Structure 1
Amino acid sequence: MNDLGETHLRTWTLRMMALLAADSLDQLAWMGERELETKDLVEEAELLCRFFEAHAEHEALEAEDLRNLRVIGRRLGKVDVTCHASLWGNALTADPAWDDIRSLTRRFLHTMLGDWRQPLPRPVHPPEDDH
């Protein structure tokens, strides 16, 4: 992987981890009126975790950061399957797994950056209807 690709992937991962580490009220505010499905969020976060594990030989992350990311990936894989079909806003309040994930991602960010409090990614708004 080239440096530009690694930089983009690292930024994408840190933004996702910042979102997962945020307080639940901040996560809900970040979503606003959007309907984000839990399965989409879980799949994207798991993909990032697997990608870094597969590219560990490129040393894109320190060993401890990679271990923390593996733990996050495993925990995401255990999110209640019934919550996968729901909206993430509903899952945040119904599934205690999100408290565990929040704690794990905070540890990852603290170890990697020195503080888990990071700016949330800019929300992607759905395209407006031109009709």
Structure 2
Amino acid sequence: MRNPDAAFRRRLLVESLTVVAAGPSAQRAWIDGHGVVTDEIALDFDHAFRMVGGLSEDDGVSPTVLPDLRAIDAVFAGMSGAGNTHRWSMDALETDPGWGEARDLARRVLADMPGEWRLPMPENCVIR
């Protein structure tokens, strides 16, 4: 990677995707461990996704993952709004189809970024 800023933005993307891709129990533990609410998972992804625009293959982000990143963004946007607060509960991590779809898409993106899907969950992913 040529640009340290690109490395930082890529790391934020990978860490946010790692949380989105995690199973419901790991997500619940991450939420509890960071003292945040469920929608922080989507907010972290949103922050990282908004910063990814300038990344390229030279930075380790293939343009082929952009449709999946956009799809994750659309899933979370579709879960938002009046009357959808139930979709952001801890139980929804397990039962809501939107969470399952976002999880599958995030796993696909991470699979296209070999060697970058690091577990355990990231420690400092929450952007405030």
TM-based fold match above 0.5: yes
The amino acid that maps onto 2:63 is: A
Tell me how far 1:65 sits from its aligned partner. 1.9
Candidates 79, 82, 85, aligned match of 1:83: 85
CA contact (8 A) 1:109 1:116 kept: yes
Aligned to 2:103: 102
The 3-state SS of whatever aligns with 1:113 is coil
Write the mapping of 1:1-131 to structure 2, written as runs, cut at 5 A. 3-32=3-32, 34-53=34-53, 55=54, 60=59, 61-81=61-81, 82-83=84-85, 86-87=88-89, 89-93=90-94, 95-113=96-114, 118-122=119-123
Q: Deviations over 1:15-51 (max 9, x none)?
A: 1101110111111122236542344332331232232
Structure with the greater alpha carbon radius of gyration: 1
- Larger displacement relative to structure 2 (24-33 or 109-118): 109-118
Quick one: structure 1 residues 117 and 44, their matched pair in 2 at CA, closer, same or farther if it must change by over 3 Å? closer
The amino acid that maps onto 1:97 is: G
Structure 2 unmatched ranges of 5 or more: none
TM-score (norm 2): 0.73
Structure 1 unmatched ranges of 5 or more: 125-131
- Larger displacement relative to structure 2 (105-114 or 28-37): 28-37
CA separation in 2, counterparts of 1:103 and 1:83? 22
CA separation in 2, counterparts of 1:6 and 1:38? 27
Quick one: structure 1 residues 117 and 96, their matched pair in 2 at CA, closer, same or farther if it must change by over 3 Å? farther
Number of residue pairs aligned between Structure 1 and Structure 2: 122
Q: Deviations over 1:72-105 (max 9, x none)?
A: 1122211143238955x24414532101110010
TM-score (norm 1): 0.72
Task: Give aligned-pair identity as a percent.
Answer: 24
CA contact (8 A) 1:79 1:97 kept: yes
The amino acid that maps onto 1:47 is: H
Tell me how far 1:123 sits from its aligned partner. 5.6
CA separation in 2, counterparts of 1:115 and 1:56? 15
